Amino acid sequence: MAPVALPISPEIRDTIQPKKDSLGLPETARKRLEKAGIDLSNGYPYRPAKPLYLDDVYKIRNYDRPYVDPGSRADSEKKALLTAAKKVIHLTAHIGTEIVGLQLKDLTDQQKDELGLLIAERSVVFFRDQDISPQEQKRLGEWYGEIEIHPQVPSVPGVPGTTVIWPALQATEFPASFRQTGGASRWHTDLVHENQPAGMTHLHNDTIPTIGGDTLWASGYAAYEKLSPAFRKIIDGKQAVYRSAHAYLDRNDPTAGPKFIERIHPLVRVHPATGWKALWVNRAMTVRIVGLDKAESDLILGYLYDVYEKNVDIQVRFRWTPGTSALWDNRITIHNASWDYEGNEPRHGTRVTALAEKPFFDEKAPTRRQALGLAGPDDI
């Protein structure tokens, strides 16, 4: 379970100023930010005042908006992107591809669309040795949807929507240890509580520990395909309650204590660019299945979490190097950042997340293996 971020009083909130850099910004991060013209004189990162009440946060982006997935516009062969690369490396059979020899900031519009389709097919795509500023990272993210500007997490000063991923900073609020690991060291996917949750996330890590700090991703397409056809019928069309990572007070009942934002989405969703079904649950933020008793819901969700988390053949574990970007699709994955370095060396990066469509289910949609002609007799 994620630590609960408790709200603060309006009196304190109104007096909050960005904190001076007391941790010591890693030198590789500092050089990247200064090269980008980021003003660090008022402290780093920028920390917005945390909203206090649940209803205020519910109102953020609480509306439907049109969305067209860029991958749906792409050439299915992705020639503009793949022929421009020096090398294309598929890291596992089911998930994860590394592109060598391209700079993300220089992609053409056609290549951006094709990258969107590649991410939709391979779930996560990696680019090493990237020379990209937070501003350029945000501009690229805008191609894939509205950028999420979080109401309370730290961001790069002057560049709203570029979240700072710095486990040492998080540890100042939620101390970590070997037994209670820090950072994002749990299986999850981002922003499931949104009316239209996250699509593509781009994490650029400029600073990485010498040993450790890997990130793992698991495929929602393959997790769904691991289920028997009979079991798929049990969960197809079912909905679940998904909650926020942060908690807030109920304005009408503040003494009840912190509460989470909750929204209802399908357990199995269809990706608009590929048309394939994917299991969409995560242990950190899926609360319960709508219409089932708690015991029934807990039993089914526990099994689904295990399918996602324990089948290593549908996962990829990526070893970062400084200056690497990972772009993944939250609609079809869960991920987990290893904290095996235990904070002994710095890890720092910036993240941009584009919001996508409202999740939907289509009974007639195929699985990935069915669409690619890989399904065996027990898959149908």
Active site residues per annotation: 188, 190, 335, 351
Residues 303-331: b if buried by 16+ CB within 10 A, e if exposed: ebbebbbeeeebbbebebebbbbbbbbbb
C-alpha distances out from residue 305 to 219, 263, 295, Å:
12, 19, 15
Measured between alpha carbons, how far is 14 from 328 in angstroms, rounded to an integer?
36
**Kind of pairing between the strands at 124-127 and 97-100:** parallel
Measured between alpha carbons, how far is 305 from 285 in angstroms, rounded to an integer?
11
Residue 238 burial class via C-beta count within 10 angstroms: exposed 0-12, middle 13-18, buried 19 and up? middle
Measured between alpha carbons, how far is 274 from 134 in angstroms, rounded to an integer?
29
**Tokens linked to 270:** 């269809």
Measured between alpha carbons, how far is 346 from 26 in angstroms, rounded to an integer?
7
**Tokens linked to 47:** 């920390």
Residue 336 pairs in a beta bridge with: 216
The DSSP code for 155 is B
The DSSP code for 219 is E
Measured between alpha carbons, how far is 149 from 158 in angstroms, rounded to an integer?
12
Helix-strand-coil split of the chain, %, nearest 5: 25, 25, 50
Q: List alpha helices for 130-278, DSSP H.
A: 134-142, 167-171, 220-226, 229-235
Measured between alpha carbons, how far is 226 from 218 in angstroms, rounded to an integer?
12
